[in-house]
Homo-oligomer: A and B are copies of this chain.
Amino acid sequence: MDARGPSSDSSPWMPFESRRRARDEKRDAVLRTAVHLFLEQGYHRATLNEVAERLNITKPALYNYFRGKEDILFECWALGQERVDDFIAGIDAAGGTGLNKLRKLIRAYAEVMTTDYGASLVRFDPRDLTEKNSRVVRAAKRSIDRTFRKYIADGIADGSIGPCDPKMTAFVIAGSLNWIGHWFQRDGAMSAEAIAGEFTERLTEGLAVKSTRRVASTPAKRKKSSGGTR
């Protein structure tokens, strides 16, 4: 009937005898298929029947692993959020100038946006979640926003970034990155790495202090009188 496509994307149910896989692997397979379908068709148009069909099972079987559609949606989001949390922790641990941390953040965030779970951070609507889960999402979004603003403020403080409004600048940068999740397609002309690199450059070239490009550790570079630190 329908070209199920090369369902070679590792469905544990495909071979009849390989049903002995671990439960978690099946759960993951459900999530991979679901996030793909949700992104492809949109959450509301995508049906659990089709998710199941692509996994060569039937809808009620999904309820062995998830409580319902909303649960699956939230899990997809959470996996994307986990990746973001991870690399932010890494950047924080590594330290460096504000500009340096911001650059790392932009690059990593851009690359995550080109993945399915990453895109789910911006393509899914929190209003489809329960109130409880929705609060978790909102809190996480605020946290990411704070990270952007903090790195920018750090950069202004340590002189690696010229004076600007951290709040607005964070909106500009994060918006540009978030939008990647809306247009990127894996089979497109541009690779994720190329995009990440280009965005890193374009989004920071205007912020870096002009006089000396490499600001190793020389604070009090050019403190504009208007910019009260912090």
Contacts and interface: CB of A to CB of B under 8 A. Distances in A.
A6 interface: no
A68 interface: no
A59 to B, nearest CB: 20
A132 interface: no
Interface in A151-196: 162-169, 171-180, 182-183, 190, 195
Summarize A's interface: helix, strand, loop or mixed. Answer: helix
Nearest to A220: B165
A56 interface: no
A127 B45 CA distance: 9
A177 B163 CA distance: 22
A171 B145 CA distance: 21
Contacts of A182: 175, 178
Interface stretch (A22-30, A97-105, A208-216): A208-216
Nearest to A204: B206
Q: How many copies does the complex hold?
A: 2
Contact of A225 (B42, B166, B199, B202): B166
Contacts of A230: 141-142, 145
A135 interface: no
A42 B168 contact: no
A44 interface: yes
Interface string A132-145: 00000000011001
Contacts of A210: 211, 213
B203 A163 contact: no
Interface string A79-118: 0000000000000000000000000000000000000000
Nearest to A122: B182
A165 B127 contact: no
Nearest to A190: B168
Contacts of A224: 215
A180 B178 CA distance: 11
A206 B219 CA distance: 16
Given A44-B44, A149-B225, A175-B177, 6 more contacts: A142-B228, A163-B215, A168-B190, A175-B179, A179-B179, A222-B228
- 7 A-B pairs with least C-beta separation: A206-B206, A175-B179, A167-B225, A165-B220, A176-B176, A205-B206, A44-B44
